[in-house]
Amino acid sequence: MVYFSPAHRGITKGKERKVSKPIALQLYSLRKDVYPGGDDLPGVLRTVADIGYKGVEFAGLHGHDPNEIAKLLNDLGLEVSSSHTGLPTSETVRQIVDTELALGNKRVISGFGPNDFKTVDACKQAAAKFQRAAELVEPYGMSFGIHNHWWEFDKVEGKYVYDILMAEAPDIFSELDVYWCAYGKADPVAVIGDYKSRMPLLHIKDGTLEEGAPHTAVGSGVLDMRAIIGAADENLLEWLIVELDHCATDMLEAVRQSCKYLTSEGLAAGSK
């Protein structure tokens, strides 16, 4: 078992934050595969607002009109932190931008799978596509970022894939998934310290870090969330976004517990 804690890895506790950042939920957490009501997007949004999240991160609208969803968000007092979309290209950028601006969102996020990062040249080719995506959305007042899994913390020729991508695509931001970073045997506190000027969003998830193990409610796993969140740039960080891919317990309850833990510990600001 890989254990990740200040005592085990020599990480000191993060300083107490002066301002708690708002908390959002990546809606993939409540998809229909893991939550019985996950095929009812308006119902999911009402549930998320009722729990006390301040915002949501989309992973598709599942056929819904973005203008209608935007109205519902406004009625519920929810904001859009960001959206996971397909990679913006010259062929797709206008459709992506039109949808996201209708939602009131200005941050789009994408990524690639592990087979796209097998060599340094492959990493550079992927980075060039990311950089181009950032350049395509910038005229619309939007920014483009990448979300990592564990494979971005594999090494090619002695370098993390993640470091190559960030160096080769200077105009992208990083939405660091802190769990997958740690699962990849990197130190999220150190990674945030190195790149905090490019991290307006953090993906917050927790678990045991055991291979193949499901995630847990945030605060129930082995990650030191206070140190991790405390490593971010307080003036640049905008949102803490909870995401649970799979969970050993009831997903809705884990989503609820994650919000309660982060807000009750003063690590994030909810609506209640």
DSSP calls for 244-267: -SSBSS-HHHHHHHHHHHHHHTTS
Provide the pLDDT for residue 8. 32
Domain coordinates in residue numbering, the chain: 6-269
**Rounded average pLDDT over 156-166:** 97
- pLDDT band of residue 10 (cuts 50, 70, 90) is very low
- Cβ neighbours of residue 69 closer than 8 Å, sequence gap 6 or more: 41, 42, 45, 61, 103
Is the Cα torsion angle 79, 81, 84, 85 positive or negative in sign? positive
pLDDT band at 19 (very low <50, low <70, confident <90, very high): confident
* Phi then psi dihedrals of residue 160, to 5 deg: -65, 140
Token pair, residue 188, equals 């999220």
The average confidence (pLDDT) of the chain is 93
- CA distances in angstroms from 199 to 148, 216, 238, 266, listed in the order given: 12, 24, 9, 20
pLDDT in tens, 81-99: 999 999 999 999 999 999 9
Backbone φ, ψ for residue 35 (5° rounding): -140, 125
Amino acid 9: pLDDT: 33
Tens of pLDDT along 174-211? 999 999 999 999 999 999 999 999 999 999 999 999 99
153-165 in b/e burial notation, b at 16+ Cβ within 10 A? bbeeeeebbbbbb
The single-letter DSSP state of residue 239 is: E
Q: What is the pLDDT of residue 32?
A: 94
DSSP 113: -
**Which residues is 109 bridged to in the sheet?**
84, 145
pLDDT score of 214: 96
Q: Would you say 40 and 252 are in contact if contact means Cβ atoms under 8 Å apart?
A: no
CATH topology of domain 6-269: TIM Barrel (3.20.20)
Residue pair 245/35 in contact by the 8 Å Cβ criterion: no
- The C-alpha atoms of residue 36 and residue 95 are separated, in whole angstroms, by 30
